[in-house]
């Protein structure tokens, strides 16, 4: 299929030079024959966000992905917010329908789809989350939607973790701890899945990992690190050596991108092309 219609897409953040999204989406556009579809990195400083959002309309962008530091602040400049993004408090995808801008959060769909691909059922599970930042909010909401029986948050900042837990108490059974505490160490002994949402272990600081004793996890617990660069973090490498099943962040990145592509175009992309492109990029880093 070939299309001569011009459509513009992009990713908005500051900085955005590190983003893999332009190459990932461009590879699919090319494969699908969308020769006049453009995906543009849009470096937008915080004080210029309103002007950038208005430019999406005036330049007739079909949609943009949104990254740090705009995921929470962009909402006030949009016309509508999807229910997932509203609960999470963050937008990572904006769709332009004739000047009507709607914000979505595709991280939830990407996270849950990645678990499904890994044959892990979050229903009635005990999930332990490391970290209490923006990524943790999306994952926490996904687990609540799937009715996890218990969600335990462990973080470096106990107050931040408690605030996050408080935000979701009406949606499920959520508790928080200092990740160095004996209470947290006791709790992870019954966890079915441990999810790292922190940047500890991300390139270039690949020798870092959260301060968690993986030996405390029960046999067969899934260790999931949403970091995708490197593909195997120190946390996952350690877990694998101890015999635990592991899952990296590449699948979540791909599947949230798949959902954003659907919102942009009304079609599902060939994720094999996206995956091949990402792995080629990451292999060079």
- Write out pLDDT tens, residues 162-192: 999 999 999 999 999 999 999 999 999 999 9
* Distance, CA of 185 to CA of 242 (rounded, Å): 17
Residue of 71, 146, 234, 258 with catalytic role: 71
Instruction: Give which of 139, 85, 148 is closest to 111, Cα–Cα.
Output: 139
Instruction: Share the mean pLDDT of the chain.
Output: 95
pTM of the model: 0.92
Cβ atoms 94, 64 nearer than 8 A? yes
- Quick check: 108 pLDDT over 90? yes
| Res 134: pLDDT | 87
Coil, strand or helix at 141: helix
Is 285 catalytic? The answer is no
131-171 tens-digit pLDDT: 999 899 999 999 999 999 999 999 999 999 999 999 999 99
* Distance of alpha carbon 205 from the chain centroid: 20
Domains and CATH numbers, the chain: 7-105+254-283 (3.40.50.10860), 108-248 (3.40.50.720)
CA dist list (Å): 189 to 40, 88, 177, 218, 247:
46, 28, 14, 6, 19
* Confidence bin at 1 (pLDDT 50/70/90): very low
């Amino acid at each position: 299929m070939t299309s001569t219609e011009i459509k513009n897409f992009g990713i908005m953040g500051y900085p955005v030079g590190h983003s893999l999204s332009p190459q990932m989406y461009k590879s699919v556009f090319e494969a699908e024959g969308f020769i006049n579809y453009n995906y543009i990195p849009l470096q937008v400083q915080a004080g210029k966000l309103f002007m950038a959002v208005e430019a999406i309309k005036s330049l007739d962008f079909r949609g943009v992905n949104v990254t740090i530091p705009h995921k929470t602040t962009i909402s006030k400049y949009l016309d509508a917010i999807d229910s997932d993004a509203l609960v999470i408090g963050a937008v990572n995808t904006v769709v332009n329908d004739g000047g009507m801008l709607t914000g979505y959060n595709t991280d939830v769909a990407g996270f849950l789809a990645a678990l499904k691909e890994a044959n892990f059922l979050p229903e009635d599970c005990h999930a332990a989350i490391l970290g209490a930042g923006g990524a943790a909010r999306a994952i926490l909401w996904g687990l609540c939607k799937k009715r996890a029986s218990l969600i335990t948050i462990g973080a470096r900042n106990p107050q931040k973790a408690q605030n996050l837990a408080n935000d979701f108490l009406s949606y499920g059974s959520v508790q928080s701890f200092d990740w160095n505490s004996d209470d947290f160490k006791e709790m992870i002994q019954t966890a079915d899945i441990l999810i790292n949402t922190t940047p500890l272990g991300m390139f270039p600081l690949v020798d870092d990992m959260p301060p968690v004793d993986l030996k405390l996890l029960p046999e067969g617990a899934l260790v999931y690190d949403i970091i995708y660069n490197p593909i195997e973090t120190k946390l996952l490498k350690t877990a694998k050596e101890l015999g635990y099943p592991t899952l990296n962040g590449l699948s979540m990145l791909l599947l949230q991108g798949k959902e954003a592509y659907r919102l942009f175009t009304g079609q599902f992309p060939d994720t094999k092309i996206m995956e091949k492109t990402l792995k080629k990029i990451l292999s060079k880093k």
